[in-house]
Chain A
């Protein structure tokens, strides 16, 4: 079943989530993240496009209070038929939330992530939010905790967030300009007063940006959500994307405004248009040059349960969990087995992507290639590459294998290309070392390369290739693989003889 990746329609509330492994519009946006970040998000459905096919999340609605008003939100959130952020059916106390989480985790072992996302702002409910986190980290240490906030109270709670091992935080940042903000936020509650207009928006933006910086300084992963509001912040979000990336957010999730009159929101009643899917896609593409874009968000409810795109909340209402008898110690053992199986499966299929190998003779051997890539294209000068992405091309297609770190040997423009920096000896040894890092690879793809490394690579049996600069990595790797195949070098000697 193919679900829309992001669309204007209400996210699908029925069905079994997204079963197609290729439901993203782009190759896994996280494919090229450093290993330590990828390890943190590989089982997080809201952060990893790949993971969302296998792992489930749940939100517990323990945070009803809010400290700002957004024009796309209506605080009359009690509705069972809608599926959108801020809507819940049942508020929970922290104790009820714990019970629900343990019941769901035991029943749905793929559930790896517990988020508090409302229906208000979690950090405007610090007592209920942190009590829930505290109990959960003690009783269910195998569940990742995350929190989603408007950012207004973020700076004052960053230390508590760090203390509770919450290493995923989502901040909704719709603007960095108070004039734009005044069109989105009619008021905020700040220092015991309601502050309206541009002044309120200015304070909110200031706190969001400060909070973002404080989180990334502490190594906490930050995703930024933005609501695309045509005519209000559409162009402006490109600027937002640049700024949050510079502050260390690792993923930007631009979501379409949901504004129907029946929701009773300001935008709904005032007939503010929602963006078309094309507008959303164009904006995501425009921002994508700046940072990893998330394209598989389902804009789920603040009490959603299950895989993204499905909601199994009905199976876990308070009356139902009341009669469930959960042995969490036993459940944790089962959960571990399931998680390991999924991770293994993900590792095995990581990076199997288009293009398909067409016209490669059966029985051709696979070839490893190192790519000086950036943002999915062959973008880096050989001497400037901090790491090489290792791909394997085979008759099955192109597969991402791993990263290999290098040490920079190129001293900059003055010595560009030739590795001819002041300390000749050190230069040589670094270059030699980098060539050793590429062991097993038969080709190096880069945007440019100097004469000296060219010669040394050839001597080491690695063919340098600068022909595919700025092309998508997978396409370039496949093109080179086809060139090698055309020479007949990929077939076993006996095969070759037979063909000849």
Chain B
């Protein structure tokens, strides 16, 4: 089990510093998670740390491709507005 970073990532480094497994590494065009190291923070924290600090909706997904921070969940911007500004995506 491992999380993944999507193309929504803005390379802000926040997740790198809080990952207990040093599983996140810099790559182009965005950071990636080493699935051999990622434990989804089980045993270390009650929630996956990358997803807890990530400021960008839709940037982290689980193995099923589900967003850990779906559209609108972090900014509070209503979905209609997100759609209006082209900030809405159904899935990764």
Contact = CB atoms under 8 A, between A and B. Distances in A.
Interface of A: 64-67, 69, 71, 75-78, 91, 120, 124-125, 127, 186-187, 189, 192-194, 261, 264, 266, 269-270
A65 B17 contact: yes
Contact of A192 (B11, B13, B47, B77): B47
Interface string B38-66: 00000001110100110110000000000
Contacts of B92: none
Nearest to B69: A194
Most A CB contacts (10 A, CB to CB) among B11, B75, B81, B85 go to B75
Given A67-B53, A69-B55, A193 B47 contact: yes
A125 B17 CA distance: 8
B47 A76 contact: no
B36 to A, nearest CB: 23
| Highest count of chain B CB atoms <10 Å: which of A75, A124, A261 | A75
Contacts of B45: 192
Q: Which of B11, B13, B16 has the most CB of A within 10 A?
A: B13
B84 to A, nearest CB: 8
Contacts of A77: 10, 12
B55 A270 contact: no
A270 B10 contact: no
Contacts of B46: 192-193
A271 to B, nearest CB: 10
Given A66-B14, A264-B85, A269-B77, 17 more contacts: A64-B13, A65-B17, A65-B53, A69-B55, A69-B75, A75-B10, A76-B10, A77-B10, A120-B14, A124-B17, A127-B17, A189-B53, A192-B47, A193-B46, A266-B76, A270-B77, A270-B81
A252 B46 CA distance: 39
Contacts of A78: 10
Contacts of A269: 77, 81, 85
Given A64-B11, A76-B10, A264-B87, A189 B52 contact: yes
Contacts of A261: 85
B31 to A, nearest CB: 11
A264 B55 CA distance: 13
Say what secondary structure dominates the interface of chain B. Answer: loop
A66 B56 CA distance: 11
Question: Which 4 pairs from chain A and chain B are nearest by CB?
Answer: A65-B14, A189-B53, A75-B55, A65-B13
A192 B46 CA distance: 8
Contacts of B77: 266, 269-270
Nearest to B52: A194
Given A192-B45, A266-B75, A65 B12 contact: yes
Contacts of A266: 75-77
Contacts of B49: 192
A270 B49 CA distance: 29
Contacts of A71: 75-76
Contacts of A67: 14, 53
Nearest to B86: A264
A91 B55 CA distance: 17
B52 A193 contact: yes
Nearest to A67: B53
Nearest to B78: A270
A69 B72 CA distance: 13
Contacts of B53: 65, 67, 189, 194
A186 B17 contact: no
A71 B74 CA distance: 10
Given A125-B17, A186-B76, A66 B12 contact: yes
A269 B75 CA distance: 11
Nearest to A187: B74
A186 B81 contact: no
Most central of B45, B46, B53, B74 by chain A CB within 10 Å: B53
A154 B47 CA distance: 24
Nearest to A63: B13
B9 to A, nearest CB: 10
